[in-house]
Structure 1
Amino acid sequence: MSTALSQVFRGPLKLVIFDCDGVLVDSEEACCRLCAQAARDAGWDVPDHLAVQTFSGMSLATIQPMIEQHAGKLLGPQWEPTMQQRFVAAMKEGVEPIMGVHAMLDAVQKLGVPVRVASNSSCEEMDVKFAVTDLAPYFKGRIHSARDMGIPKPRPDVYLKAAQAEGVLPCECVVLEDSDPGAQAAVSAGMACVMLRPPEKSIPDWKGLERIEKLSDFLDILSKLVKDSS
């Protein structure tokens, strides 16, 4: 086990919790671009090439006041539900799975470790994403939405809910995340967190964080944790 994970993980490994966007499904850029367009429509000039950098991992409940502050105008109570429906419509038009995700999930199943999803996306949105990408069978009845709970990341509640639903302790869970708000939620929940990040992008210096650059590396980490637990 890596030194970083051992600071939090106590084992045995009883649950793997996945974020959705940027970890399982390649939808984050599309959603962030929709937010950038909404920001421009409101009067805040966020170019598309800065969309992910500006909005990655954030909930609509956080993005709305952020846009309002920069644009100097209120967006109204219908802004969130309107954006949510734009997200769902965009996902129906097409979204791709993260490269290697099916092989990774098949291998995790062979390890015998239960999996769940905990995301800032709504369940409605995730249902569409998982149907389009053929990921639905892996997570049937095992999806948790921070948006639907009304308590988005970086609050830890959605991760704690996933652990509670599985009947395990936070220190027996490993989370796979790609955003800083998501990683903060996992760390605040008392869970070990692996961050999927490209080599040019650093990760926060937080207790219990490990870094990988491709999904196959995550499987290596889980295999070692299972072996150490046996």
Structure 2
Amino acid sequence: MILFDCDGVLVGGEHLSTALMSEDARSHGWNISDEEGNKLFGGGELAKIGEMIAEKTGDKLPDNWDMIMQDRIVEMMRKKAKEVPGATKMLRDVVNEIRLPIRVGSNSSEAEMEAKFSSTGLDKILKEERIHSGRDLNMPKPRPDIYLYGAKQEGIDPAHCLVLEDSDAGIEAARRAGMACVLLRDLDKPAPSWPGLLRIAHLDEFVPLLKTIIAAQKEHHKKG
């Protein structure tokens, strides 16, 4: 089975979400740029980001700051979410050509992912019962729980799962879950030194890589 992260892997625009958080942080007195906010807040839990802003500024944020921010993000994503280039074709090829089951495991809420997938059309491929939210299930990465949950729902051993991720927290979640992982990231950017971690720079490379892995596994079984 293939497990996908959402932001940065299937849907772009995480920088839009972190820009909203940066804007809010500035309103509380933290002189942080959108670029700095993207590095600090990207892939993080909203509750912890709120705590970070409160600690940095000394301001008391609303107790439901994370829910307020979540609603703002959902509203924005319904209008501005964009597919990561190649996501639709890649997903269709995995399902129809390679015939592997797929699921999504993300720190985003289900409401946020619904907004992103419906506005990009990815909801035609990604069915609701195969989309799992680390936020809603209280299983945020880098904990492995959201990926282990997806494997359990599919009835597949974690050792037979592969994760496509773009964040360090997601890579760590896959590692802890005992799953293989492919990192989608520009090759000139740093990455964790996890033995066996595979890298691609564009989604167009993912299906050919899968085919290579599957062919190597078949050859290994023949010799074994």
Q: Assess same fold via TM > 0.5.
A: yes
Which residue of structure 2 aligns with residue 44 of structure 1? 30
Match for residue 103 of structure 2 among 90, 107, 116: 116
Match for residue 143 of structure 1 among 106, 128, 131: 131
Q: Deviations over 1:4-42 (max 9, x none)?
A: xxxxxxxxxxx1000000000012111111111121122
Residues 1:125 and 2:112 aligned together? yes
Which residue of structure 2 aligns with residue 54 of structure 1? 40
* Cα distance in 2, alignment partners of residues 154 and 193 from structure 1: 14
Residues 1:82 and 2:61 aligned together? no
What SS is found at the alignment partner of 1:104? helix
What SS is found at the alignment partner of 2:136? helix
How many aligned residue pairs are there?
A: 216
Residues 1:105 and 2:126 aligned together? no
* Cα distance in 2, alignment partners of residues 104 and 158 from structure 1: 22
Instruction: Using the TM superposition, name which of 46-55 and 92-101 deviates more.
Output: 46-55
Residues 1:185 and 2:206 aligned together? no
State the structure with bigger RCO (CA 8 A, min sep 6), 1 or 2: 1
What residue ranges of structure 1 are gaps of 5+ in the alignment?
1-14
Match for residue 79 of structure 2 among 89, 93, 96: 93
What SS is found at the alignment partner of 2:56? helix
Instruction: Using the TM superposition, name which of 93-102 and 62-71 deviates more.
Output: 62-71
Residues 1:32 and 2:18 aligned together? yes
Instruction: Using the TM superposition, name which of 86-95 and 61-70 deviates more.
Output: 61-70
Q: Given the two structures, how large is their TM-score scaled by the length of structure 2?
A: 0.92
* Cα distance in 2, alignment partners of residues 52 and 218 from structure 1: 25
What residue ranges of structure 2 are gaps of 5+ in the alignment?
219-224
* Cα distance in 2, alignment partners of residues 24 and 75 from structure 1: 32
What SS is found at the alignment partner of 1:35? helix
* Cα distance in 2, alignment partners of residues 115 and 163 from structure 1: 10
Q: Deviations over 1:88-117 (max 9, x none)?
A: 010112211000111111211110000000
Is the 1:191–1:208 contact (alpha carbons within 8 Å) kept by the matching residues of 2? no
* Cα distance in 1, alignment partners of residues 60 and 206 from structure 2: 42
Is the 1:123–1:144 contact (alpha carbons within 8 Å) kept by the matching residues of 2? yes
In the TM superposition, 1:183-222 aligns within 5 A as 183-222=171-210
Residues 1:69 and 2:58 aligned together? no
* Cα distance in 2, alignment partners of residues 196 and 62 from structure 1: 25
Runs of 4+ that moved beyond 2 A: 225-230
Instruction: Using the TM superposition, name which of 200-209 and 133-142 deviates more.
Output: 200-209
Q: Given the two structures, how large is their TM-score scaled by the length of structure 1?
A: 0.90
* Cα distance in 1, alignment partners of residues 29 and 131 from structure 2: 36
Which letter does structure 2 place at the counterpart of 1:124?
Answer: A
Is the 2:7–2:14 contact (alpha carbons within 8 Å) kept by the matching residues of 1? yes
Which residue of structure 2 aligns with residue 4 of structure 1? none
